[in-house]
Each structure stands twice: as C-alpha cells, then as structure tokens.
Amino acid sequence: MPSKGTGALLDRSDVPTTLNTDDRLEKADTTRNTSSTEHDGSDGGEYNVPDDYRDLDELKAPSPVEESPAERPQGYLEDRVDESTKEHGQTESPLSSGLGQGKKASSYPGHQSRAFRFATELYTIAYLIFFSILGTLARLGLQALTFYPGAPVQTSVLWPNAAGSFIMGFLIEDRKFFSDEGWIRHRSPSSSQPQHPLDEEQQRKRHSTVKKTIPLYIGLSTGFCGSFTSFSSFIRDIFLALANRLPVPLSHPSSGPLINPASTIPRNGGYSVMALLAVIIITIVLCLSALIAGAHLAIATERFTPSIKYFFARRILDRGIVILGFGCWLGAILMAIWPPDRHKGYPEYWRGTAVFAIVFAPLGCLARFYVSLALNSKIKSFPLGTFTINIVGTALEGMLWDLQHSQSSVGGGRVGCQVLQGMMDGFCGAATTVSTWVAELEGLRRGHAYVYGGVSVSVGLGVMVCVMGSVLWGREWERVSCVS
C-alpha cells in the first residue's frame, strides 16, 4: 500500500503504478463491431466470445496501479465508441484484437461457429452460477465471523466488501493464472506468431487481452467477487445507522432478560449523521484501499503464482463446471425443500441463514451480468448497468426488509420470513456489487468517478429512506426471530 495514507488513494496521480496510462485498457472499449474471439479447435471446441461481453466492466477495469505519476488524461472505462462507429465497421473488438491474425468466425461453418458460441455462453453461465454460490456463502460466513461482542466495526458487511474488492484487485493485476502459452497459442495460428520475441510490455498486453475472454476469469471476477460483495447491504447499513437501528453485538453479558441486539439507546440526530458518514467513508476508503492492495499482492507474488494449464481448463474445468455449477444449484433447491436439519429437534435454522440465500444467489448474479451487458455501454462516463442493478437491488432489499419486519400484517410464518431473508442475502446480495463499483471508480476520470460514486450512494440512500423509512417511521418495525 502507498505510504501516503488513504487520502492518496483517491488521488491516484500520486500512486506508483505498474501499467502505462496509455495502455491500461488497450483502448478497451474502442471497438464494437467484430464478430467474436475464438481458440483453435484442436481440443474439440473453441471459445466464441459474444461481442457484448466487452460491456462487462470487470473485463475492462484497468490496473488499480500505474507506472507514471502523471495525471490520468482520460478515464479508461469511458473510451467507448459511438454506435455510429459500430455501424460503419471502423473499429475492432478488444476481445478479438491484439493477438495477431487469429481465426475469425467467418472461417468456420455457420453451425460450428454457433456451437462454439453456445458452448462459451454455457461455460460462462455455469461458472457464474457456481461462483455466485461460493461468493454468497463466503459473504455470509465472513459476516457471521465479524459480528461478535465488542466488535470495533458494527457494520459486518464491511469486511466482505473489502475482501471482495481485494480479490478483484488481485485478479485485475494478475499476470500468471492464464500465462500458460496454450492460451496464447490457441488464440493465434502459428503463422501469425511474431518473428521476434515479445518484450515484457507486449507479453503483458497479450496476456491481459487473453484472460478477459476466458469464462473462468469472468466467473471469478463477475461471479465470485460480485457476489462476495453487496451494495444493497452497504446502503441498508447506511440507512440503519442514520435511523439508529444498526444491529450492535452485545459487549457485555446480561444476567437479566434477553436483550435484542438491534436495540439501541435514543440519541441526538447529529450523532446519527456522524454514524451515516462513518459507514460511507469507512466502506468506500477501505474498499478502494483493498482494491489497490490486491493489485500490489499480485505484483509481489507474481513469481510464486501458479499458472492454470490451458488443456486442463478446457478439457476438465470447463466441462466439469457445467455439471458442478448446475448440480450445486439443484442441490441447494433440494435442501431448501427438504432441510438437512428438519429432524434435529429444533427449528430449521439453515434454511434461513444459508440455504435459501444460495438458491436465489445465481438468479441475482445472472441478472447483474445481463443488465451490465445491456446498459454499461450506453453512457461513456457513467456505468449505467451497474448503477441500475445496484439501485434496483437496493430498492428490492428495502421492500423485503419491510415485509420481513411486518410479519404480523403480511403473514407467511417462519418459512415466509426465511424466504425473505434468503432473497435479501441471496438475490439482492449477489445482484448488487461493491467490487465492480470500486473498480469502475478506479477506471473513470476523476471528476466522473466522484459524480458516479456520489450519485450511486445518494440515490441508493434516498431510495432506502423512502422504502424503509416510510414503514419504520409510519408504523414501526417488528422484531424478527426466524433466522436466529
């Protein structure tokens, strides 16, 4: 981490970096018209990456660190081309450029190209399902571990958000996981290989281009990191801090009646504003710091980081993940129907704390994935897809929270309460993301980044005030015990 303090993290013109500012995204979004990116078919199939995958900001996100301390001339997530450019075919896709004259989709029969496209999308969806389940379980587990008596930080979702941002920074900067020559060789035929050895910068650019077309990388960044972090929970905790309802673990044992951990002592409104600012500032600064620290770790451990072999990933991981991803999701659904703790002599605890969450998590992750594909390219300086899914997920979490805390009016019993908890932890938690959000803040021009970040938090909090505040200050919430 830089020694200049957290303030320096927001002014990254002072941060030493590892990439040249002109190359951070290799003009990542300057192209929109090429058909797709493919591998040689000697292993029985190729990756045929859909064009709209370039609108995933996890794939366009620049390195969190730079080599030159010079002022960033432009935002690298903003280097998008107008639709007119796409229509006139004036540009080439970053997902299919930078590696020489590889085979294009037109060199294959139509049915074969469609089969490659279907396989690539199937692998990507399977990875997203599998890693969204893992990411959700990691988030719930870390939240449980960090909510303990005397905890110095009372918003337990802070730690999953920071950890997910750390992993995202590592993945963005990493140059070893997909450095096996098989990945490069199957992107370009031997005839297009350079006659002279590539220097370090050219190798870095080539590797960066290749890894962003690999379904496993999309699963790790979009699936795991996106589901590990939760923007809706972050905004929910901001509102709870403002309303003096943020759950606080008990610091001392009580010999009297059971005390509700959500009970708080009335306080002056000024203290609530301070609590609100504390949650916002600590979360954003720590997550940005974690993103940069993850990139630094990737650089420091580069010589020790293993490389994933091309044929192992293509022949074993890709094919196995289709069974594993959909199988795990089906298993979660079956456990929700027949809970494993049903006959243990106590209420079915696991459905409310984990099982329902991992049933809904893949749906949230896939919703975020497709909304990002559809909307992120619409406004150059404002990632509309991430913003939309974050705000919609936040509004949905607020509505679900109100329903859960109004059970005497809406009914549903214990199972209904657990379903609502699972939708909040699973669907809303996986649909909204902080790791991608802070990566986008890194990639936008500084002024645009402040606007994007400020609007996201302000609109999210405004939605929560309208949705949750109307119930809290209108009829009061009820205590919830279905997950404890």
Q: What is the pLDDT of residue 41?
A: 41
Residue 227 to residue 410: CA distance in whole angstroms: 29
Amino acid identity, position 439? A
Tokens encoding 261: 């951990």
Cβ neighbours around 30 below 10 Å, total: 18
Q: What is the pLDDT of residue 411?
A: 64
Q: What is the pLDDT of residue 113?
A: 65
Residue 29's DSSP bridge partners are 80
Half-sphere exposure of 448 (CA within 13 A, CB side): 20
Q: What is the pLDDT of residue 181?
A: 60
Question: Which regions in the chain score pLDDT beneath 70?
Answer: 1-46, 48, 51-52, 54-55, 66-115, 181-208, 250-265, 341-348, 409-412, 481, 483-484
Q: What is the pLDDT of residue 308?
A: 85
Q: What is the pLDDT of residue 31?
A: 39
Residue 380 to residue 75: CA distance in whole angstroms: 9
Q: What is the pLDDT of residue 51?
A: 67
Residue 274 to residue 272: CA distance in whole angstroms: 5
| Alpha helices per DSSP H over 266-341 | 269-300, 310-312, 318-337
pTM of the model: 0.79
Query: Exposed e or buried b for every residue in 33-43, given b needs 16+ CB within 10 A?
Result: ebbbbbbeeee
Residues 37 and 213: beta-carbon distance below 8 Å: yes
Do you know the residue count of the chain? 484
Q: What is the pLDDT of residue 305?
A: 86
Q: Of 463, 383, 5, 432, whose CA–CA distance to 232 is shortest? A: 432
Q: What is the pLDDT of residue 207?
A: 66
Q: What is the pLDDT of residue 80?
A: 52
CA dihedral of 343, 344, 346, 351, whole degrees rounded to 10? -70
